[in-house]
Every structure is written in structure tokens, then in C-alpha cells.
Amino acid sequence: MPNVTVKAKDGGSFQAYVAMPARTPAPGLVVIQEIFGVNKVMRDLTDAYAAQGYVAICPDIFWRIEPGVDITDKSEAEWQKAFDLFGKFEVDLGVQDLIATLGHVRAMPECTGKAGSVGYCLGGKMAYLMASRSDADANVSFYGVGLDELIGEAGGISAPYLCHVAEKDGFVPPEAQARFVPALEKHPKATVHVYAGQDHAFARVGGQHYDQAAAELANGRTRDFLAAHLG
């Protein structure tokens, strides 16, 4: 079952990559892409979450702009395309599509009905919005971008939320972190970890800023968090 079709709330449909755990029924997990589409990095992450025991689903949230984007971070042309897609992406519609994906996975016979989300980069921003706008049971952001502009939405967070922040994130400067980190640290449902000296995408295997120790720490915290709240 590598791909399924998810129906959008406002009409149309989009594809999502699905990976199944060894045992079902199991909790669901929406894995939210970076700006490079549902590429090998995201498929591998989805497979890894399935191996941890989740019905893992990674939707194509760029489908309204260009369906089936699958690029890497290895060339300037791909970066330009990724930023172009990011610029055209409509966040509110993206959240709507993620909520539809959440409903889809919950309705799958292999799912227990409990489900959360985990996102990276753009997906980290979207996981924060899933925490504030959806009824997902738990949500995790890895180096989410633009959270400082959305801190007013924190009041909507009612389920456990975990936020991984790269201290030296080139896309999230110190002044931006100063606006959202303290606010989230005070939130009763939020847990924030700042990774000293780390840059954006420190957990992307093969990426320019990949750091094995920091990645293992963040991944371990995520594993324990999801097990506690979705298991």
C-alpha cells in the first residue's frame, strides 16, 4: 500500500505515501513534508515511523500547485524550485488537507483511531498549526519555520505538542526564536527543546547540516513522546 488517495474537503483529491507497521491496529501518524515534496527523505522517515509501530502517512501537500513533487536538496536548481513552491503554498489550505489526511488515516481499518502528526521545516510549521487547529492527539515540529508569526495561535493548542528548535537555524533567526520559544515554554501542553549550535535540518540524514548526535537525541525524544501520547 505505497500510495492512497485522500479526498480534499473542498473537492479534488491528492496522493499520500503510506507505510504499515508490523502489527495492526496501530495509532496513525501524519508525516509532513519539507519543501522538497514527498521525496526519498520523507518516504524513508515514513517507513521509519511505521517500523516504530504507526500507520504512517505522508501526504502531498503541494498537490494544489504541482502534484508529485519529488526533489532533493543537492542542486541550486532544486533549491530554487523548492523555494518557489514554498512561496506559492497556501498555508490555510495546507492545514485543511492535513486535517483531511488525519481523518483518512483514522478511518483506515488498520488504525486504532488515535493519530498525531510530525513535520519537518515547512512541515514543522504545519505540525504546529495541526496542534492549534486540529484534534490530532499529539504533534511534533522539527525546526519549524515562521512560528514567530503564528504565536497568537498557541492558545488553540489543547493536545501535547513537542517542538525541536535549532539554535543556529539559518531560516529562524534569534529574534524570531525569542518571540516563540519563551511563549511555548510557558504553555502547559508544549515541550520545547533547543539544540545548541545546530542549524536547520540537523536531523535530515545526508543533509548539509546533519548532526548524528543531535538527530538521535531529537528522534529519541520524539519516539518517547509519541509512544506516551499515541500508544
Q: Tell me the pLDDT tens digit for each residue of 124-153.
A: 999 999 999 999 999 999 999 999 999 999
For 33-52, write each residue's pLDDT tens digit: 999 999 999 999 999 999 99
Rounded CA separation 4/8 (Å): 13
196-210 pLDDT tens trace: 999 999 999 999 999
Here the cell at position 114 is 488515535
CA-based angle 8:9:15, to the nearest 5? 10
Q: Please check whether the domain covering 3-230 is classified as CATH 1.10.260.40.
A: no
101 band by pLDDT with thresholds 50, 70 and 90:
very high
The answer to whether residue 99 scores a pLDDT higher than 70 is yes
Q: Is the pLDDT of residue 91 over 70?
A: yes
Cα-to-chain-centroid distance, residue 198: 19
The pTM (predicted TM-score) of the whole model is 0.98
Question: Which of the residues 169, 199, 211, 229 is marked catalytic?
Answer: 169
Every domain of the chain and the residues it spans: 3-230
Portion of the chain with pLDDT greater than 70, in percent: 100
User: Is 169 part of the annotated catalytic residue set?
Assistant: yes
**Alpha carbon distance 142, 41 (integer Å):** 14
Under the banding of pLDDT at 50, 70 and 90, the label for residue 90 is very high
State yes or no: pLDDT of 1 exceeds 70. no
C-alpha cell at 140: 511534533
Mean of all residue pLDDT scores within the chain: 98
Mean pLDDT of 169-178: 98
Active-site residue, 148 included: no
